[in-house]
Structures are given as structure tokens and as C-alpha cells.
Amino acid sequence: MIERIHIGERSSKIVKHNGVVYLTGQVAEGETIQEQVRGCLQKIETLLEEAGSSKEHMLRVTIWLADMNDFAGLNEVWNEWVPEGYAPARACGQSKLARDVLKVEFIVDAAYH
């Protein structure tokens, strides 16, 4: 069974299937990479909780940066947020994002209980 939560015109914010929750890409407002990362991670935590999961259950995270020069700023916030011993598989690359003001986008897959 596939469960879709917060269904929009182009995507669902949460899709649950076969023990895995898939989150749509998360972006946030902010002037700095750190502000945007914090905003994204806050949204991710909220969505995972709603799906019956948590950051401790993340399986894989894909991160797109508009500029790889922001990699250190991303990791500064990420390293504080991820619980020790629960780091997911992670990929990070540079990509043109949907709006010029966006510096980062996160795509998260997690197990749920």
C-alpha cells in the first residue's frame, strides 16, 4: 500500500511505502547557507515526525547546493543536527535550484515505525 500525505498539484510532501518514508525536496528562506540549512532541517524533522519517523531513522539524504563553496557552512549545521551514531548515507552535489535565492535543497528517505 502507498500512502500519500499533503498531496499537491505536482508532488506529495510525504509518501510512505513498504516501511520507507520519502520526503519531497525541502528548501527554506534565509540570507546565509546556515540559515537555509537550519530551516530545511527543521522542516525535515517535522515531516518525519508526522510520518511516524525521526532523524534517527534516516536512510539516505541527497543534498543539492547551488554553490559548492557553501559546503563547509552546510556541514557546520548538519554535523550539529545529526545524532551521533545515526548518520545516513549521504550524497551532496551542485545543482541549479528552482529559485535564485535558494542555496540548498534536501531530499530525505527514512524508515518508519
SS3 3: strand
Could you read off the pLDDT of 3-48 as tens digits, one per residue?
A: 999 999 999 999 999 999 999 999 999 999 999 999 999 999 999 9
> For residue 85, what pLDDT is reported?
98
Q: Are 14 and 21 in contact (CB under 8 A)?
A: yes
HEC readout, 67-90 = CHHHHHHHHHHHHHHCCCCCCCEE
| Distance in angstroms (rounded) separating the CA atoms of residues 105 and 107 | 7
Q: Is the pLDDT of residue 113 over 90?
A: no
Nearest to 77 by CA among 29, 36, 106: 36
Q: Is the pLDDT of residue 76 over 90?
A: yes
DSSP state of 109: E
Residue range 81-107: average pLDDT? 98
Percent of the chain with pLDDT over 90: 99
Q: Is the pLDDT of residue 103 over 90?
A: yes
Q: Is the pLDDT of residue 82 over 90?
A: yes
| Distance in angstroms (rounded) separating the CA atoms of residues 58 and 88 | 6
Q: Which fold has domain 2-111?
A: 60s Ribosomal Protein L30; Chain: A; (3.30.1330)
Domain regions of the chain by residue span: 2-111
